Amino acid sequence: MKKSIYLIADPAIEPSVLLNKIEMALKGGLFAVQLWNNWQKVSNKIEIITSIHQLTKLVDVPLILNEGQDCLDLPCFEGIHLDLPNDKIQAYRQKRPDLIWGLTCSNETEKLIWAEQNSLDYVSYCSIFPSKTSNSCELVSFDTIYETRQFFSRKVFLAGGINQNTIPNLKDLPFDGIALVSAIMDAENPTEAVLNYSEILNY
């Protein structure tokens, strides 16, 4: 089955640059766009989310908000990515049964078990390799990833320090796709970057 890519974007960067980069990346084909939970210096949060959703909706790509529980009343997104297990998830689901749910995982199998018990749609391991954008994550052991299917049955993504040089090291691992930040957002041509990574990933 073809492995996919989801983009993690920082909503605090200059809005016109943010929208342009996301629009171009979407043309390369993405599983999802996730907005990182970095809103402290953003005065127009709802406007930013709405503008990005207009782009993702056009190509039927879900927009996922990192720790977006405060936005449950907004119709302009399709998922929430949790950094930690949240015991209020069932209440959130009753309010928004339509949402996709994901969780950041590291080396603790407890998180995987929680994700399975609560029927999350995907987990994302962070950080696979050292990364300037994932410096708050511990490095994930490959043994942990190999054992994933013992605990979690849905989609598995890998994040952190993934680039064209490190992708070959992932080939034997059980996963469904990768999450990219700077590899796409710092690229001159995000469309081309997504296409190139997809080709390498599925070679």
Write the pLDDT tens digit of every residue in 110-130: 999 999 999 999 999 999 999
- Report the pLDDT value the prediction gives residue 66, as an integer from 0 to 100: 98
Q: How confident is the model at residue 134 (pLDDT cuts 50, 70, 90)?
A: low
| Higher pLDDT pick, 92 / 131 | 92
- Report the pLDDT value the prediction gives residue 137, as an integer from 0 to 100: 72
CATH of residue 70? 3.20.20.70
Total domain count for the chain?
A: 1
Q: Find the domain containing 186 and state its range.
A: 4-201
Average pLDDT over residues 123-147: 87
Residue pLDDT, tens place only, 15-39? 999 999 999 999 999 999 999 999 9
- Report the pLDDT value the prediction gives residue 186, as an integer from 0 to 100: 96
Question: Is 55's pLDDT higher than 70?
Answer: yes
Distance from C-alpha of 125 to C-alpha of 128, rounded to nearest angstrom: 7
Q: Sign (positive/negative) of CA torsion 1, 133, 76, 119?
A: positive
Residue pLDDT, tens place only, 152-171? 999 999 999 999 999 999 99
Distance from C-alpha of 120 to C-alpha of 167, rounded to nearest angstrom: 26
DSSP string for residues in 120-148: -SEEEEE-SS--SS-TTSPPPPHHHHHTG
- Report the pLDDT value the prediction gives residue 133, as an integer from 0 to 100: 64
Distance from C-alpha of 32 to C-alpha of 26, rounded to nearest angstrom: 9
Euclidean distance between the first and the last CA atom of the chain, given in angstroms as a whole number:
12
Distance from C-alpha of 7 to C-alpha of 182, rounded to nearest angstrom: 9
Q: How confident is the model at residue 131 (pLDDT cuts 50, 70, 90)?
A: confident
Percent of the chain with pLDDT over 90: 94
Q: Which residues of 17-50 are buried (b: 16+ CB within 10 A; e: fewer)?
A: ebbebbbbbbebebbbbbbbeebeebeeeeebbe
Question: Is 199's pLDDT higher than 80?
Answer: yes
- Report the pLDDT value the prediction gives residue 1, as an integer from 0 to 100: 83
Average pLDDT over residues 44-60: 98
- Report the pLDDT value the prediction gives residue 136, as an integer from 0 to 100: 62
Average pLDDT over residues 185-189: 96
Cα-atom radius of gyration of the chain, to the nearest Å?
Answer: 16
Mean pLDDT for the chain overall: 95
